[in-house]
Structure 1
């Protein structure tokens, strides 16, 4: 507060004038007289701080573009959140062996011109898809083959995978239906062409009666006359033994197995450290805070995506804690323009207690609903939660994906002249809400297909939100659902 008073005292009043280049811009005009018929009305000088702040908005359109936001984001915290975003990384600490084995498997069969099958298993968030994606970005690999990636959760039925493959290959089918697509694919694979790498993510979604779809695809990749390398990815360790027992009876059909173990504490620490260091914000987390976060996540699941989400949540809370200083910050920015010295704010480091609080919210069960959804809960996140509730309470179809939720959220925001975030930022919003324990996200390759479920009781969440007028209006707004 002393800083505020120092800044405000630097504004020129009728008895003080300011020296420097800004003198001509905001020269003190004559003092205004009181209205003759209202002696109780105080005289207001146009150069008082309140009026000065009002005058700052009365600028031309070109000047408006360069205005600073009143509550501008701290660049350090913004950089940290960006660094901890769970997008595909450019390196995979802790997965050096798996990367080497994956690349060796692909290149060996490319050079031999042989077909092969690899089944990759491992819990969620262990780097299975990210590792393969990183390898396929290398020119030495991508230039030698035609790669087809299919997330099997996006397919309506198991047999429709053949239509998807033929479309990706760009082949014309003879006739309609599953059989026509299968014949067209086999014909393509028999002729001279680049070897095909077929990646089936969430391959367990192709389970069918008698498992005919999976057996057909596995037989393709075991045929020496077809240049096909098949890589199936799933969470289940025993999928090939459990639902495809015939593969074990025929050696040529038996796939090579690769397992991605959950990340260890030290590996999660290394990933965190590398990301923060590359963004130049390593000092934002104290070492003991990173150790605590990594240790808890490693003990529960070893899911590095969850660890990154929790890290972003902690950074958001620390940033929000400093929001009370934003007004002071904006006044200091104004003071700088007026020639007054600006006080540099120090970055607040994430400490152990803040990490423990978020971990308790994510993994604990004693959280009180009304304590979590309060004035510190960001408006955008509140709207996302309410949009989810709106779908679950009023829509006929209760299945919620990121894409569908974003569509409803967008309508809600536009109707109320609230800024809409794009799809990428929306995924981040949902991840931050997940760290509060409010909802759960089942992640897929295509973010729009991520499944969302509400973890808290609908009525309790609605009760915690409806005392806010805006939130209550959203929960009653059936029009935003359209025909859903």
Structure 2
């Protein structure tokens, strides 16, 4: 095998010893592997590369204990969202679900409401003959009603008891779910079963009895109770069969039971049956209703002419004022002090003033502040990072967020969520402004007097008390249909007072109100 008198080079799979020429001991390692092949392998041979035992640290060594250096393109790259992580932290702290203090059981500025609820629980659970066995918690949206009750259930109702001094702790009934222990006295614990139902999720009000039972019955026993509990009578029988357990039934958004049916008497009977269930002698049941409607008790229960001891205890969650809102924001952001420092204090106070003038809804406040942070973050991304590094959220940022959240909704969408009493108050404001030739400033007190006179003349509905009227006015401002301001002008008798005016278009309001027969006479 000669080419031009020269011996051609051997291939990787050939050697001098092939075809019987030479000794296999002298063969190269590649020739040994490919011995017997007449043609090269179809695929090129991949060379083995020694790799380290893991590429998780730049300090690793290979199998020969030689230093191993990760190439720069193999190192993980850090992804940056936004120009500064402080923005993400701040927006996270301003989420509604974030908790500012895990050590205390009451929400910021809600210590008095917490004390009232705890006093109610102690009376209801420890004393079976107590009159405090039904509770109605009311207040505008975003005032902490459900959140405060959830905190109490989390911290004061114990799933297990660690090393109790009183060894005679009642064991939970194996047929029940959502059980816990409540300490009625020192080292005296009562077995509790809690059923919490959001009434918005009910297809029809009549399902409430079955839904409550299914929340506390173990899966093994649900089949036998699923169809049996279709009335308050069946629910009552089940509770009587568990004398060692105290039942707590919580109805969140209870006023939705009335809105889900056109027959008011049917919904009224269901609510009445639930509250009277707690008043039954020899039964361990506590009923708690939560609703935004401040007049539900008057519309549904007081009209039934019940005895005073049969009516539920009422706890009002009043709207947050500006100072309370500022304290809540400060306590939330104080977890990371740098998050509080990116705000100008006057910017937070401006936002709290805007929101407290409505319902005092914290959810609206958190939305405004998060939107303000986003505006600052966008500015930092667009501009020079060195110039924007020391900037803070200012009143200008908050004002832009306010115009976005509060002025973008149409009159129709702003009026739709209002309850009947709020719509009546709005109609009285518009009615007065329409017939006020001098366009005088109207104080909140004057608006209340006009509202009472208008209702007495039209006989549409019984007027609210002054405190309830003021609370509803703040709700109107939160919804963007009214504006309350502290005005200092010589035209006012006292020189300074809170004035109120509507912020809706009269023709659009007339169109929406005309759909409700009850309110047609007000405009």
CA distance in 2, matches of 1:88, 1:205: 27
Q: Residues 57 and 94 of structure 1: is their aligned pair in 2 closer, same or farther, counting only changes over 3 Å? A: farther
Q: Residues 270 and 86 of structure 1: is their aligned pair in 2 closer, same or farther, counting only changes over 3 Å? A: same
CA distance in 1, matches of 2:119, 2:225: 39
Q: 1:94 — aligned with what?
A: 109
Task: Report SS of the residue matched to 1:266.
Answer: helix
Match of 2:277 among 220, 232, 257: 220
After TM superposition, the score normalised by the length of structure 1 is: 0.56
Match of 2:346 among 262, 265, 288: 288
Count residues with an aligned counterpart: 296
Summarize the alignment of residues 22-61 of structure 1 with structure 2, pairs less than 5 Å apart. 59-60=73-74
On the 8 A contact 2:214/2:226 being kept in 1, the answer is: no
Task: Report deviation, 1:149.
Answer: 1.2
Question: Hey, which of these two has a bigger chunk of strand by percent?
Answer: 2
Task: Report SS of the residue matched to 2:238.
Answer: helix
Q: 2:200 — aligned with what?
A: 153
CA distance in 2, matches of 1:94, 1:298: 14
Task: State whether structure 2 residue 95 is matched by structure 1 residue 85.
Answer: yes
Q: 2:170 — aligned with what?
A: none
Q: 2:251 — aligned with what?
A: 200
Task: Report SS of the residue matched to 1:196.
Answer: strand
Q: 1:301 — aligned with what?
A: 359
Note the alpha carbon deviations across 1:173-212, whole angstroms, 9 max, x for none. 7677575464442223113232111110111122254222
Match of 2:391 among 335, 343, 348: 348
Summarize the alignment of residues 445-460 of structure 1 with structure 2, pairs less than 5 Å apart. none
Q: 1:448 — aligned with what?
A: none
Q: Residues 247 and 344 of structure 1: is their aligned pair in 2 closer, same or farther, counting only changes over 3 Å? A: same
On the 8 A contact 1:174/1:181 being kept in 2, the answer is: no
Task: Report deviation, 1:361.
Answer: 2.2
Could you say which structure has the greater relative contact order, defined with CA pairs below 8 angstroms and 6 or more residues apart?
A: 1
Match of 1:104 among 115, 119, 128: 119
Note the alpha carbon deviations across 1:132-185, whole angstroms, 9 max, x for none. 111111145652222211110011110111111110120657677575464442
Q: 1:359 — aligned with what?
A: 402
Which has the higher mean CA deviation after the structures are superposed, 217-226 or 176-185? 176-185
State the superposition RMSD in angstroms.
3.1
Q: Residues 173 and 228 of structure 1: is their aligned pair in 2 closer, same or farther, counting only changes over 3 Å? A: farther
CA distance in 1, matches of 2:303, 2:406: 41
Where in structure 1 are there 5+ consecutive unaligned residues? 1-55, 330-342, 368-434, 438-484
CA distance in 2, matches of 1:84, 1:282: 11
Task: Report deviation, 1:228.
Answer: 1.0
After TM superposition, the score normalised by the length of structure 2 is: 0.52
Task: State whether structure 2 residue 237 is matched by structure 1 residue 187.
Answer: yes
Task: Report SS of the residue matched to 2:310.
Answer: coil
Note the alpha carbon deviations across 1:413-436, whole angstroms, 9 max, x for none. xxxxxxxxxxxxxxxxxxxxxx9x
Q: Residues 321 and 118 of structure 1: is their aligned pair in 2 closer, same or farther, counting only changes over 3 Å? A: same
Task: Report SS of the residue matched to 2:255.
Answer: helix
Q: 2:138 — aligned with what?
A: 121
On the 8 A contact 2:206/2:270 being kept in 1, the answer is: yes
On the 8 A contact 1:247/1:253 being kept in 2, the answer is: no
CA distance in 1, matches of 2:406, 2:80: 36
CA distance in 2, matches of 1:169, 1:105: 22
On the 8 A contact 2:209/2:230 being kept in 1, the answer is: no
CA distance in 2, matches of 1:226, 1:251: 20
CA distance in 1, matches of 2:120, 2:281: 16
Task: Report SS of the residue matched to 1:93.
Answer: coil
Q: Residues 88 and 110 of structure 1: is their aligned pair in 2 closer, same or farther, counting only changes over 3 Å? A: farther
Q: Residues 176 and 199 of structure 1: is their aligned pair in 2 closer, same or farther, counting only changes over 3 Å? A: closer
Task: Report deviation, 1:73.
Answer: 5.3
Q: Residues 189 and 365 of structure 1: is their aligned pair in 2 closer, same or farther, counting only changes over 3 Å? A: closer
Q: 2:373 — aligned with what?
A: 315
| Structure of higher CA gyration radius | 2
CA distance in 1, matches of 2:329, 2:307: 44
Q: Residues 131 and 71 of structure 1: is their aligned pair in 2 closer, same or farther, counting only changes over 3 Å? A: closer
Q: Residues 100 and 366 of structure 1: is their aligned pair in 2 closer, same or farther, counting only changes over 3 Å? A: closer
Task: Report SS of the residue matched to 1:59.
Answer: helix
CA distance in 1, matches of 2:154, 2:231: 29
Where in structure 2 are there 5+ consecutive unaligned residues? 1-69, 159-179, 183-191, 411-477, 481-523
Q: Residues 206 and 77 of structure 1: is their aligned pair in 2 closer, same or farther, counting only changes over 3 Å? A: same
